[in-house]
Amino acid sequence: MTRSLAPRSLSFSRLAIYSTLILACALYLIPLIVMLLTSFKSPEDIRTGNLLSWPEVITGIGWIKAWDTVGGYFWNSVKITVPAVVISTLLGALNGYVLSMWRFRGSQLFFGLLLFGCFLPFQTVLLPASFTLGKLGLASTTSGLVLVHIVYGLAFTTLFFRNYYCSVPEALVRAARLDGAGFFTIFGRILLPMSVPIIMVCLIWQFTQIWNDFLFGVVFASGDAQPITVALNNLVNTSTGVKEYNVDMAAAMIAGLPTLLVYVLAGKYFLRGLTAGAVKG
Amino acid sequence: MATLELRNVNKSYGSGLPDTLKNIELSIDSGEFLILVGPSGCGKSTLMNCIAGLEQISGGAILVDDADISGMSPKDRDIAMVFQSYALYPTMNVRDNIAFGLKMRKMPAAAIDEEVARVAKLLQIEHLLTRKPGQLSGGQQQRVAMGRALARRPKIYLFDEPLSNLDAKLRVEMRTEIKLMHQRLKTTTVYVTHDQIEAMTLGDKVAVMKDGLIQQFGTPQQIYNDPANLFVASFIGSPPMNFIPLRLQRKDGRLLALLDSGQARCELPLGFNVAGLEDREVILGMRPEQIALAPAQANGLPSIRAEVQITEPTGPDLLVFVTLNQTKVCCRLAPDVPTQVGDTLNLQFDPARVLLFDAATGERLGVAAPAPASKDNVAQFKGR
């Protein structure tokens, strides 16, 4: 066992720092706590108690009802998010590889134009996108929504990978070419294995963006194919019947849990990867 | 084992830009060690990349064993390269790094294992095979990079400043090792460096480059003793050759160079006789070791008294700086010469080895024929 040699004194400034941190932490956590507590309460409990009171009886009825309502849409979201994230990350990696290691005449301009995609608000592409999907025969299909997410995500994933690969010495690619490796072999055997941190960044970023997306979902998907964010909105915004806050809160938790899980699992890569390509590029 | 020939190789990065390589003509025999040396930006690395196929040439031809390879892709050229940054694949261990090129060439697994073992033994890196490049020291990475090149048994090795990332001591060690390796394997090698000591010690042939042009191509001795122009003379040699601007005179049919140290004058008769050089501004080139202390009794060689301005003891030598014709001149003397700043030394020169350059163009003037030197003279300069 190792013991810290520093004296364990609790000075006033330490105390001030910790209490500020705890306060800030509480401020961020209270909405989550309210959601969790409410989701486990019964409707009577919600009416009689206050927001932060402990449930008199912990009941899963809200969660069961919520899952019955939005569960199907949860799987819709999975079907939209997983392919869109994987494909946009892979294509972004390939784009970044070309734009950093196989520069062609005008590739800088190409990259600059691609970057515009990062600054385009969702709303501006709605009409052109729906027009294009209509022409492609993909209107109101899950594949169509996936395509929109891939195209919109490419600008970000390309930027991430291109900047990451710019810090990789070009000599590696040259050495591999002399060793007899081709374009895709170099990509798959040399560069991708080095890219774990930036792949994690892309996965987290794209997953959060696509899973949490509401606008594309509400515009390009219809009926039973809608993602969970749209279903949650429909559930919460119903104006008929009694408001079932426990169900609303549980459904919101169900909609938010996957992103939370992704951050917990891959979060340490996120900071590392974001700063990795940032210095050079 | 292969011959390499460059025929009129040109490289340009687009019209309007100056050519990076201009009419490069070179040829080396099988097993020879060619050094490309020059200051940064002279095109030596570009030339190497062109040989490797990493860059396309704009004109001319590159021939290996008399077959034109200039249109081939790098992997078909059967050339291996050691990079300045080593360029080891960071996610693979040493074994996989060495085996990668063999796997790409679809060699059977058993043969790969055998080849990796052979190379590892040759370079004494057997104990490192399971490590990742990040866990190796600079010298070890260097060995692995060489191993990767050796494993393929290519026709030609290319080395791109392989020692410049090592510390001074390791650099000298690895230099010897590369030379040893070449003596054992006798593979045709092209080696790029900006270090003139590496150029002199390693090469069978040296090509000195500047501004995309080959200034001189020859053996290290030719380059050192018989430089083609002022640039080559100044680039090769440490401490560098002294360049003294002066005007030649003709007296009794001989060409004389007038030296003036401020306190004395000396007429230095040149060992060659070319018409039309008198009364022209020229630059006299003299290597520091070609200036010696005059012996007590005169031996017939020209000498001059000059004041010592700086002394630099380097260990094996004592470098003494004097002023001749308002130019600082370095003399390489024996370390035991008792002298101090302010002393006056009687220095003498070997007229037979003095070089002349055109002051305007830097071109070599007249070719020094070995002058009939006196016996003392030869003995004295050999003893240095």
Segment A108-134, tens digit of pLDDT: 999 999 888 888 888 898 999 999 999
What is the distance between the alpha carbons of residues A218 and A116, in angstroms, rounded to a whole number? 24
Say if residue A77 is in the same domain as residue A34.
no
Whether B72 has its CB under 8 Å from any CB of chain A: the answer is no
ipTM: 0.79
Say if residue A139 is in the same domain as residue A38.
no
* Fold agreement between B4-235 and B242-382: no
> Which domain covers residue A156, as residue numbers?
62-276
What is the distance between the alpha carbons of residues A217 and A225, in angstroms, rounded to a whole number? 9
Q: From chain A, which residues contact B within 8 Å (Cβ)?
A: 169, 171-172, 174-182, 185, 189-190, 193-194
Give the distance, in angstroms, between the CA of residue A152 and the centroid of all CA atoms in the same chain.
14
CB pairs under 8 A between A and B: 60
Contact B101 A190 (CB under 8 A): no
Say if residue A147 is in the same domain as residue A234.
yes
Choose the mutation target among A165, A168, A178 for the interface with B, i.e. most B CBs under 10 Å.
A178
Say if residue A130 is in the same domain as residue A222.
yes
Say if residue A43 is in the same domain as residue A83.
no
B96 neighbourhood in chain A, CB within 8 Å: none
Say if residue A19 is in the same domain as residue A114.
no
Q: Which residue among A169, A171, A178 places its CB closest to the CB of B74?
A: A178
Is the CATH code 3.40.50.300 the one for domain B4-235? yes
Task: Report whether pLDDT(B123) > 50.
Answer: yes
What pLDDT does residue B369 have? 43
What is the distance between the alpha carbons of residues A153 and A99, in angstroms, rounded to a whole number? 17
B93 neighbourhood in chain A, CB within 8 Å: none
Total tally of structural domains belonging to chain A: 2
- Which of B113-122, B245-254, B315-324 is least confident? B245-254
Segment B258-282, tens digit of pLDDT: 889 888 888 888 877 777 777 778 8
What is the distance between the alpha carbons of residues B75 and B78, in angstroms, rounded to a whole number? 6
Examine residue A5 and state whether it is found in any structural domain, yes or no.
no
Task: Report whether pLDDT(A213) > 60.
Answer: yes
Q: From B101, which residue of chain A is nearest by alpha-carbon distance?
A: A179
Contact B148 A179 (CB under 8 A): yes
CB A246 within 8 A of CB A69: no
What is the distance between the alpha carbons of residues B169 and B137, in angstroms, rounded to a whole number? 14
3-state secondary structure string, chain B? CCCEEEEEEEECCCCCCCCCEEEEEEEECCCCEEEEECCCCCCHHHHHHHHHCCCCCCEEEEEECCEECCCCCHHHCCEEEECCCCCCCCCCCHHHHHHHHHHHCCCCHHHHHHHHHHHHHHHCCHHHCCCCHHHCCHHHHHHHHHHHHHHCCCCEEEEECCCCCCCHHHHHHHHHHHHHHHHHHCCEEEEEECCHHHHHHHCCEEEEEECCEEEEEECHHHHHHCCCEHHHHHHCCCCCCEEEEEEEEEECCEEEEEEECCCCEEEEECCCCCCCCCCCEEEEEECHHHEEECCCCCCCCCEEEEECCEEEECCCCEEEEEEECCEEEEEEECCCCCCCCCCEEEEEECHHHCEEEECCCCEEECCCCCCCCCHHHHHHHHCC
Pair of tokens at residue B321: 């700086």
Contact A175 B84 (CB under 8 A): no
Could you write out the DSSP letters of every residue in A168-222? S-HHHHHHHHHTT--HHHIIIIIIHHHTHHHHHHHHHHHHHHHHH--HHHHHH--
B105 neighbourhood in chain A, CB within 8 Å: 180
Examine residue A4 and state whether it is found in any structural domain, yes or no.
no
Pair of tokens at residue B314: 């380097």
- Which of A142-156, A196-210, B253-267 is least confident? B253-267
Give the distance, in angstroms, between the CA of residue A25 and the centroid of all CA atoms in the same chain.
22
Say if residue A42 is in the same domain as residue A83.
no
The whole-angstrom distance between B217's CA and the closest CA on chain A is: 27
What pLDDT does residue A7 have? 57
Work out the pLDDT band at B378, boundaries 50, 70, 90.
Answer: very low
Scan residues 138-197 of B and list those with Cβ closer than 8 Å to A: 148, 152
Domain at A208, CATH number:
1.10.3720.10
Examine residue A56 and state whether it is found in any structural domain, yes or no.
no
The whole-angstrom distance between B115's CA and the closest CA on chain A is: 15
Q: Which residue among A171, A178, A190 places its CB closest to the CB of B75?
A: A178
Examine residue A53 and state whether it is found in any structural domain, yes or no.
no
Examine residue A3 and state whether it is found in any structural domain, yes or no.
no
Element (H, E) at A151: helix A142-166
Segment B37-49, tens digit of pLDDT: 999 889 999 999 9
The residue type of A175 is A
Taking residues B64-79, what's their average pLDDT?
Answer: 91
CB B230 within 8 A of CB B285: yes
Is the CATH code 2.40.420.20 the one for domain B242-382? no
CB B318 within 8 A of CB B345: no
The residue type of A169 is P
Q: What percent of chain A has pLDDT over 90?
A: 57
Task: Report whether pLDDT(A235) > 80.
Answer: yes
Pair of tokens at residue B37: 């040396």
CB contact set of B20 (below 8 Å; sequence gap of 6+)? B11, B12, B13, B43, B46, B212
What pLDDT does residue B138 have? 87
What pLDDT does residue A273 have? 59
Place of tokens 């401490």: B239
What is the distance between the alpha carbons of residues B80 and A200, in angstroms, rounded to a whole number? 35
Taking residues B243-251, what's their average pLDDT?
Answer: 88
Distance between start and end Cα atoms, chain B: 39
Examine residue A1 and state whether it is found in any structural domain, yes or no.
no
Examine residue A218 and state whether it is found in any structural domain, yes or no.
yes
What pLDDT does residue A45 have? 84
The whole-angstrom distance between B104's CA and the closest CA on chain A is: 6
Task: Report whether pLDDT(B368) > 80.
Answer: no
Say if residue A140 is in the same domain as residue A255.
yes
Give the distance, in angstroms, between the CA of residue B54 and the centroid of all CA atoms in the same chain.
24
A193 neighbourhood in chain B, CB within 8 Å: 91-92
Contact A178 B85 (CB under 8 A): no
Element (H, E) at A109: helix A107-119
Parse chain B into domains and list their residue ranges: 4-235, 242-382
Q: Which residue among A178, A181, A194 places its CB closest to the CB of B81?
A: A178
- The CB density around residue B144, as the number of other CB atoms within 10 Å, is 27
- The CB density around residue A161, as the number of other CB atoms within 10 Å, is 29
What pLDDT does residue A55 have? 85
Say if residue A184 is in the same domain as residue A77.
yes
